Amino acid sequence: MVKLKVTDVAFNYANVPVLKDVSIAVETTEFLGVLGPNGAGKSTLLKCIDRIISPQKGSIVLDGQDIKEMSRIELAKKIGYIPQSLSHAFSATVFDAVLMGRRPHLSWRTSEKDTEAVLDTLHMLHIEDLAMRDINELSGGQMQKVFIARALTQDPDVLLLDEPTSNLDVRHQLEVMHTIKSIVRKKGISAIMAIHDLNLAARYADRIVMMHNGTIFSAGEPAAVLTEENIQRVYGVEAEVYHNNGKLYIVPTRAIKHSDGKSG
């Protein structure tokens, strides 16, 4: 069942087109990976979906309702967003930072329900021991989990993650991908993740969308999208793609130099 439908969305940053006629559909309980080189428009697409920025053209429909017609708070109850750069201007405990996720549900005081929700997500991400630590003293991997926890505390139907693994070590990368996948299955929500690592995307995503210059170059099952030809066309990189035991392995070999000096 289609949860989110993006149709013909176009977005310009100061007259520079970043997204051109982008259309995707995301099902409930689906883990969608968004791949593409730097500047392809992945972050911009995620921000348009959460109405952090507004596209000049096109529509985004969630559960059959245009997101432009929803109030900010309604949208915040349905979509959780984890930004690319994690920062927090002032000091705050992990508990308070995660509690912010309840903001769309809060009346005036925090209720028992809110505290329960925070404790639940802390346990889900195995960061309950960090509850009273200052958020700015955490490592990159721990901070990533805190921000995921905050988004989950919103009790959303859709999770948007902007390159959550880019600054993490191998172990944390696997933990984050595994956690998102299991949350998608257990809670029946959709996750849309912009990601650089082709192998992680191949292994965990249910479907992949590959973006190039602001348009969707290819979409479908990982094996169908991650072909040597597509990788060459979109990334300008020669790679070897292996299929082994139903798993996909992408091994990049070299960057392609064009004879006329243009980069790939």
Partner 1 sequence: MKPSEAASGKERKNEEIRADYKKFIGRKVLFISLSLVLIVVIAGIAATLGSYQIAVAEVYAIIWHGLFHNPETTKELVIWNLRLPRIVMGILAGIGLAIAGTTMQGVVRNPLASPYTLGIASAAGFGAALAIILGAGFVTGKYLIIANAFVFALCSSFIIYGLSRYKGSTPETMILAGIALMYLFSAMTGVLQYLGKEEAVAEVVYWMFGSLGRASWDNLPIVFAVLAVCVPLLMLKSWDLNTLSAGDDSAKSLGVNVDQTRVMCFMLASFVTAGIICFTGTIGFIGLVAPHICRMVIGGDNRYLIPASGLFGAVILLSADTVARRIIAPTILPVGLVTAFMGVPLFLYLILRRRREYW
Q: Which residues bind partner 1 (CB under 8 A)?
A: 47, 50-52, 71-73, 75-77, 79-81, 83, 85, 87-93, 95-97, 100-101, 103-104, 106, 108, 115, 119, 122-123, 128, 131-132, 136, 151, 154, 160
Q: How many Cα atoms occupy the beta-carbon half-sphere of 218 within 13 Å?
A: 19
Q: At 150, give phi and psi (nearest 5°).
A: -60, -45
Residue 126 per-residue DSSP state: T
Instruction: State which amino acid sits at residue 2.
Output: V
Taking the C-alpha atoms of residue 226 and residue 95, their distance in angstroms, rounded to an integer, is: 40
CB-nearer residue toward partner 1: 124 or 239:
124
CB-nearer residue toward partner 1: 73 or 256:
73
CB-nearer residue toward partner 1: 153 or 165:
153
We find the least distance from the C-beta atom of residue 234 to partner 1, in angstroms, to be 26
Q: Are 45 and 91 in contact (CB under 8 A)?
A: no
Residues 6+ apart with CB under 8 A from 253: 237, 238, 239, 240
Token readout for 211 is 């973006």
CB-nearer residue toward partner 1: 92 or 241:
92
Token readout for 178 is 């595994």
CB-nearer residue toward partner 1: 27 or 120:
120
Token readout for 145 is 């989990």
Chain centroid to CA 113: 27
We find the least distance from the C-beta atom of residue 62 to partner 1, in angstroms, to be 14
Taking the C-alpha atoms of residue 200 and residue 54, their distance in angstroms, rounded to an integer, is: 30
Residues 6+ apart with CB under 8 A from 245: none
CB-nearer residue toward partner 1: 32 or 160:
160
CB-nearer residue toward partner 1: 73 or 251:
73
Taking the C-alpha atoms of residue 76 and residue 38, their distance in angstroms, rounded to an integer, is: 27
